[in-house]
Amino acid sequence: MIRENQPLLNRLQVAIDGIVIVISYVLAWYLRFKSGIFELDPWFLSLRAYMMALVFIVPGYLLLYYIFQLYVPRRMRGRRLEAWNVLQANTIGLLAFILILYFRHQSDFSRLMIFIFYALNVFLEVLARNLIRIALRKMRSKGYNQKHVLLVGYSRAAEEYIDRVRQNPEWGYQIRGILADNVPRATEYKGVKVLGRIDNLEIILPQNRLDEIIITLGLAEYHKLERIVKMCEKSGVHTKFVPDYNKVIPSRAYTEDIQGLPVVNIRRVPLNDPLNRWLKRIVDIFGAIVAIILFSPVMLITAIAIKATAPGPLIFVQERVGLHNRPFKMYKFRSMVVQSEETEKGEWTTQNDPRVTPVGKFIRRTSIDELPQLFNVLKGNMSLVGPRPERPQFVEKFKEEIPRYMIKHQVRPGITGWAQVNGYRGDTSIYKRIEYDLYYIENWTLGLDIKIIILTFVKGFINKNAY
């Protein structure tokens, strides 16, 4: 069973981490003093003096890894989060290392070597952990290292949990069945059967053959929750709760403690935090200035081409809905013939639209028409990354048709976004776009913004759905 294997896996991970730390440190010493890459001082500390520091470095770093939760099961944990925790732990270790040397007046200890060690250790640690992750997932997909779970309650939450487990066999979850009072015994969903009633828990739990109990009660049965939890805790089995209102509560809900009373916040928006908001704004301003400088030749050539081939203004100004549902003027290079405001508002651009000019067709397909929005970013109307803004008439339409559509306006709209780099650009499913936008809003980090910007360049600016 998993509870028997997990301590062994944890001890193995600690041993591997210790080995990686030693390898990174020795390699850093070699690169600094023996490789010939760096200039050597007339004299430097001996190898023994540097290696003696490992007596403190290895346990210190392993403690930091424990503090940053790098020894919790990674079965369903994302690689990005784990890599971020590795980076944080090593950054704290680096600062602590330098601080200790300062207070001990160890000026002869090479700071350059410490920075080389920092870079190598982060790289090798992330590499080693990803290799272990791949090996474990391959084992689980072949039936090894399985976690045996039982669902209690038949509901939408139960079906969605089963869907995800079936789609990800590498997680190694084996669902033994469901206990439910609201459907007949032998009811089946994707190969998982209802084995009996919830009261059967009193018989099943003492057998101690399960790794986890997953409570998936429907809303109408929540009065049974306290009794089920008490039964599970009495047996000592690990218990999880999957709420049947996940369409209302976000995947990363957070709670407040009001004198012992837990209060669940309906929507978690990291950018509501002033520090996060200012950090993103600083990156936006810096990024927009750099992008304007880099793309200025492209914008100049585009401006000349538009003026030479089609009458009318160079910049097309259109009203869009932005942060806190406030309208703003969004800038684009003009890609269509001049038309009345009412005609322009009427509909989206369609394939082979006669209103699009020859130059306009090219700049729309390559997203060059979006470059003037960098000035919207400087003005504060937009961000480099965020949900794409929509026209007011479509906002009014979608907010009545699509649940949670208006949540996207809790952050600044962006030039590119999580939906766009996942293929939902132009004439694509608005429902999927909102799904990706909500994920971005609830899971924002500066690292995610950087990832989206990199993916925007890697995947290219060609938009097959732009007409």
Ordered per-residue pLDDT tens for the chain, 467 residues: 444 456 677 788 889 999 999 999 999 988 888 877 877 766 667 778 888 888 889 999 999 988 887 887 655 566 777 888 899 889 989 988 888 888 877 777 888 889 999 999 999 999 998 888 888 777 766 666 678 899 999 998 899 899 988 887 767 788 889 999 988 988 899 889 999 999 888 888 887 678 889 999 988 888 899 989 888 888 778 888 888 776 666 666 677 777 778 777 777 788 888 888 999 999 999 999 999 999 999 999 999 998 888 888 889 899 999 998 999 999 999 888 776 666 555 565 656 666 778 888 888 888 888 999 999 999 999 999 999 999 998 898 888 888 788 889 999 999 999 998 888 876 677 888 888 998 899 889 888 898 899 888 877 665 555 54
β pairing state of 383-385 and 414-416: parallel
For residue 11, give the H/E element and its range.
helix 2-33
For residue 417, the SS3 value is coil
- Determine contact, residues 331/375, Cβ cutoff 8 Å: yes
In a 10 Å sphere around its CB, with 0-12 CB exposed, 13-18 middle and 19+ buried, how is residue 418 labelled? buried
Residue 143 is predicted with a pLDDT of: 63
- Determine contact, residues 408/437, Cβ cutoff 8 Å: yes
Which pair of structure tokens corresponds to residue 245? Answer: 């209102």
Looking at residue 390, the DSSP 8-state letter turns out to be B
- Cα(444)–Cα(456) distance, rounded to whole angstroms? 17
Amino acid sitting at position 418:
W
β pairing state of 212-215 and 238-241: parallel
- Cα(423)–Cα(168) distance, rounded to whole angstroms? 22
Amino acid sitting at position 80:
R
pTM of the model: 0.58
Residue 287 is predicted with a pLDDT of: 93
For residue 307, the SS3 value is helix
For residue 239, give the H/E element and its range.
strand 238-241
What residues contact residue 276 under an 8 Å CB cut-off, 6+ apart? 270, 444, 446
Residue 117 is predicted with a pLDDT of: 92
Which pair of structure tokens corresponds to residue 313? Answer: 């203004």
Whole-angstrom CA distances from 20 to 111, 122, 224, 392 are 20, 10, 49, 55
Residue 61 is predicted with a pLDDT of: 92
Residue 71 is predicted with a pLDDT of: 80
In a 10 Å sphere around its CB, with 0-12 CB exposed, 13-18 middle and 19+ buried, how is residue 348 labelled? exposed
Residue 3 is predicted with a pLDDT of: 46
Residue 291: how many other CB atoms lie within 10 Å: 16
Angle of the 274-309 helix axis to the 358-365 helix axis, nearest 10: 150
| Fold designation for 147-246 | Rossmann fold (3.40.50)
β pairing state of 261-264 and 255-258: antiparallel
Query: If you search the block for the tokens 């790794």, which residue do you land on?
Result: 211
- Cα(401)–Cα(430) distance, rounded to whole angstroms? 10
- Angle, CA of 373, 376 and 380, to the nearest 5°: 145
Residue 383, strand partner residues: 414
Query: If you search the block for the tokens 């028997």, which residue do you land on?
Result: 4
- Determine contact, residues 97/80, Cβ cutoff 8 Å: no
What residues contact residue 184 under an 8 Å CB cut-off, 6+ apart? 194
Residue 78 is predicted with a pLDDT of: 67
- Determine contact, residues 405/434, Cβ cutoff 8 Å: yes
- Cα(65)–Cα(337) distance, rounded to whole angstroms? 60
Amino acid sitting at position 65:
Y
Residue 62 is predicted with a pLDDT of: 92
Residue 2 is predicted with a pLDDT of: 45
Which pair of structure tokens corresponds to residue 416? Answer: 């590119």
Residue (of 90, 91, 86) closest to 127 by Cα position: 86
* Sequence ranges of the domains in the chain: 2-141, 147-246, 272-458
In a 10 Å sphere around its CB, with 0-12 CB exposed, 13-18 middle and 19+ buried, how is residue 211 labelled? buried
